[in-house]
Amino acid sequence: MLRPHGTLADCIFKGDDDELTFHLGAFIEGKLVSVASFYFENKPEFEGDHKHQYRLRGMATLPENQRQGLSSALLKTAFPLIKGNQCSLLWCNARESAEGFYNKIGFRSHGEIFDIPLIGPHRLMSIEIR
C-alpha cells in the first residue's frame, strides 16, 4: 500500500537484512495488518546530539485497521529495543499526510517539505528515545 504503483522490489529497502535491523508487525487473527521497519542508520545533522540513531521506514496499517492504535503500539514496542541498542533518536522521512500521526506520538518536524519522486511530499521528523 506504500508503493501502490510499484512492484514488490520497491518494498525492499537497503539494510533490510542487517543484523541491527528489526521489522515489527501487528497481527489480528493471524493476518498481518500493520508493519514498521527500523534501521540502524544515522542522519548526519542529528549526530551532534545523538551519536547512534535508528531510522523508521515502511510504517503502514491496512486501511480497514487504521485508527485502532496499531502503529502506535508498534512504535511503543520499538522504543525500548532502540534504547537497548544504545540509540537515543528515531528519525524518518514522513509523508506529509502522516505528519499529524507522528506529531501525536511526539515526533518533531524539521525543515521544509521536500518531494520524493512518485511518492509525494515529505518532511524530516524525529523523536528522542529516553
Ligand X SMILES: CC(C)(COP(=O)(O)OP(=O)(O)OC[C@H]1O[C@@H](n2cnc3c(N)ncnc32)[C@H](O)[C@@H]1OP(=O)(O)O)[C@@H](O)C(=O)NCCC(=O)NCCS
Question: Contact residues for ligand X (CB under 6 A)?
Answer: 2, 34, 59-61, 66-72, 94-95, 97-98, 100-101, 104
Nearest approach, Cβ of 86 to ligand X (angstroms)? 25
Nearer to ligand X, 24 or 60 (CB): 60
Torsion over CA: 22, 57, 25, 67 (sign): positive
Q: Provide the grid cell at 73.
A: 503500539
Q: Which CB sits closer to ligand X, 11 or 60?
A: 60
N-to-C CA span, the chain: 32
Scanning the structure block, which residue is given the C-alpha cell 505528519?
Answer: 99
User: C-beta of 33: minimal distance to ligand X in Å?
Assistant: 9
